[in-house]
Structure 1
Amino acid sequence: MTFPHHLPSISIVGVGHHLPATVQDNASLCQTLDVTPEWIVEKTGIEQRYIAAPDDTAWGYAVAASRDALAMANVAPEQLGLIVCCTFSGDYQFPPLSAKVQQQLGATHAQIFDLQANCSGFVAGLTVASDRLRVDPSVGYALVIGVELCSRYIDRRDTNTAVYISDGAGAAVLGPVAAGEGIVASAFHTDSSNYEAVRLRGGGAAFANNGRPFEAAVDLMEMNGIATWKQAITHLPPTIRRACAKAQLELTAVDFFVFHQANLRLIEYLVRKMGFTMAHTFTNVAQVGNTGSASVAIALSQAVRGGHMRRGSRVVLAGVGAGFNFAASVWNWTLGAE
């Protein structure tokens, strides 16, 4: 959507992230796989990933990232009118993770809900939250979190998933800014023809675990990497172009991209396909891996905190998630030096 000019301008005013203490490098992972560390780097660019400890929680990660984002934004929890948790590996089936975050932060005035759009969830969540802030200024500020503990659902002997999947959380605080700043337009697309290509069936209503013994083929994550690659290169660039068209911005005028960190080779391909260089993006997938809905959020936080993004830049956030669903948003950026 493109936002009408008479509505308030909304932007990201603070970011934060949290990663586990445990790092697993390729050499360690390959002790349970039939591939080499060099093969992993050649195919994916990933050198290591972060793995949550047994007593870590999704809510704990979400709260830690949120506190960093709130501190940067200089926003108190009681100023939040909305908390959106983007995740597909929350601690419980229900109640929603966002309710626990609201409780732990003391954000007593915040509406809460969880958003499940797989790895594009954080980009979708930012648009949903900015929509809400624009139409109802009394909301004040919104907190959008991407958080995953996906390692809990991975067979460490499965090359298709274990190579990629990592744990972590990222958060962004959204609030009012000067006219013309912040989010400008968003675009979304779904191609459900490969609905079964990336999935976790166990625990869902069709594969309830009530009285059913654990079955690895159902209760652990399945991922078809080739299908994911084809979906991403086919649909993500057009989705980005549609968002730019809504923003009345030529694609060539984009200054910076932050992509879902699925695979470094995929990001390199997408950047080249759209006519840019790697200098126009920030990547952390080599060191962090694929953190699902947290991926764009963590990369965004690291990019801002590392001084990679400049105030006034035209920025595109873009992700692809299982289903397959695609999300892109265009921003007149407001964090960082001029």
Structure 2
Amino acid sequence: MSLGPGSGVCITGVGHHLAGVVEENDALCRGLDITPEWILEKTGIKRRYIAAPEDSASDFAVSAARRAMEGAGVTAEDIDLIVAATFSGDYTFPPLSAKIHKELGVKGGQIFDLQANCAGFVSALTAASDRMAADPSVRNALVIGVELNSRYIDRTNADSVIYHSDGAGAAVLSRGAPGAGIVASAFHTDSSNYEAVRVRGGGSSFPAMGRGGPAASDAMELNGLATWKQAITHLPATVKAACRKADVELADVDFFVFHQANWNLIDYIVRKMGADLSRTYTNVQEIGNTGAASVAIALSEAVDRDLIKPGSTVVLAAVGAGFNFGASVWRWAPVNAGRGA
């Protein structure tokens, strides 16, 4: 199998950070008309991680970033680009990436936030690798997915509270040998269900000012059935499109890392593509859905467990609200994993 010349833009370090409060299904179900067994049957999720009141998205992002940088053997002086994938930054603006830049002590370079919801990390990796391919002066890029989903959840709404968790994952992109690293990406958008997953509050159509306090629009609203239908229809097709661009057969992909939304969904998609769960890693059962951080955290944990070998063909894939889909194919270079916490 030949992947072609490739770009030589490689993931050289990964790291992640989880919130400190662990919420088991038993505790979540108190006061709600649901059972732990129902949550497991519907989602596969056993527990989730919830941020403390004093926690911030920037705290989580910086923690994950430092671990990824340590693994990659780079310092703040070596970073020329920071991309933060999130919808739950500390402020509406300035961008979260600017706060990360400040806290890490990076000087100069470029920063921006990318909002593609749960597909954000996959999208941000491609955006950053494209910048590196186009501009030789960008030596290393730091890509972070981070969400504090719990800040947007109505705790009385069983349809949303059972899924969501808080955390961050990060990757350092560096230059490697030709043929290594990212090979191809593919994206697809089906906006026909634009309203199916949303947080309206704080947007310019639902501004925070002048509303006299919290409104129903401040909480996450989720149509689970629409999400399921979108994911099973378009995510496999987007993965196949990325593989075609990379001249890779699905059967030759060594390892998949998917957005961790629902264990049943991942199982369905893997089998729909003719694979099995031995060729992927899932953590949604243990930590829940961390949004734009989920692929990053799963990737970090998979590297920590030595599940991805140098030279392997790896596919990262995710679906985000809107709905948007992203997948990228990588020829895996040796990675020094950062510590997770």
TM range (shorter): over 0.9
Deviation (angstroms), 1:217: 2.2
Match of 1:40 in 2: 39
Aligned residues: 334
Deviation at 1:213, TM superposition (A): 2.5
Post-superposition offset of 1:241: 0.3
Q: How does 1:153-168 map to 2 (within 5 A)?
A: 153-168=152-167
More off after superposition, 160-169 vs 208-217: 208-217
Percent identity between matched residues is 63
Equivalents in 1 of 2:299, 2:29: separation in Å? 29
Matched, 1:229 2:228: yes
**Structure 2 contact 50–150 (Cα < 8 Å) conserved:** yes
> d(CA) in 1 for partners of 2:45 and 2:109?
38
Q: How does 1:1-338 map to 2 (within 5 A)?
A: 5=5, 8-335=7-334
Alpha-carbon contact 1:309-1:335 (below 8 Å) kept? no
Aligned equivalent of 2:339: none
CA shift, 1:149, in A, is 0.5
Give the residue type in structure 1 aligned to 2:112.
F
TM, length-normalised to structure 2: 0.96
Secondary structure of 2:302's aligned partner = helix
Q: Deviations over 1:199-220 (max 9, x none)?
A: 0000100000211023442110
Q: Contact 2:4/2:179 (CA < 8 Å) preserved in 1?
A: no
Residue 127 (structure 1) shift? 0.2
Secondary structure of 2:83's aligned partner: strand
Q: Is the 2:51–2:166 Cα contact (8 Å) retained in structure 1?
A: yes
The residue matched to 1:139 in structure 2 has which SS? coil
In 2, Cα distance between equivalents of 1:110 and 1:17? 23
Give per-residue Cα distances to partners, 1:157-216, cap 9 Å, x unaligned. 111110000000000000101111100000000000000000000010000021102344
SS across alignment from 1:206: coil
Paired amino acid for 1:35: I
In 2, the alpha carbon distance for the partners of 1:33 and 1:45 equals 18
Say if 1:84 and 1:144, in contact at 8 Å, map to a contact too: yes
Which amino acid in the other structure matches residue 25 of structure 1?
A: E
CA–CA separation in structure 1 for the residues paired with 2:257 and 2:108: 31
| 3-state SS of paired residue (1:40) | helix
| Separation (CA, whole Å) in 2 of partners of 1:125 and 1:299 | 16
Offset at 1:292? Answer: 0.3
CA contact (8 A) 1:102 1:110 kept: no
Per-residue Cα deviation, 1:69-107 (whole angstroms, up to 9, x for no partner) = 000000111111100000001110000000000001011
Whole-Å separation in 1 of the counterparts to 2:334 and 2:320: 26
4+ residue runs over 2 A deviation: 213-217
SS of 1:268's equivalent in the other structure is: helix
- Aligned to 1:137, the other structure's residue is in SS state coil
8 Å contact from structure 1 (residues 307, 336) kept in 2: no
From the superposition, tell whether residues 4 and 100 of structure 1 become closer, same or farther in structure 2 (CA, over 3 Å). farther
* Structure 2 segments unaligned to the other structure (5+ residues): 337-341
Computed over aligned residues only, the root mean square deviation of the Cα atoms, in angstroms, reads 1.3
> What is the CA distance between 1:33 and its match in structure 2?
1.9
1:170 partner amino acid:
G
Larger relative contact order, structure 1 or 2 (CA cutoff 8 Å, min sep 6)? 2
Q: Distance in 1 between matches of 2:107 and 2:4?
A: 31
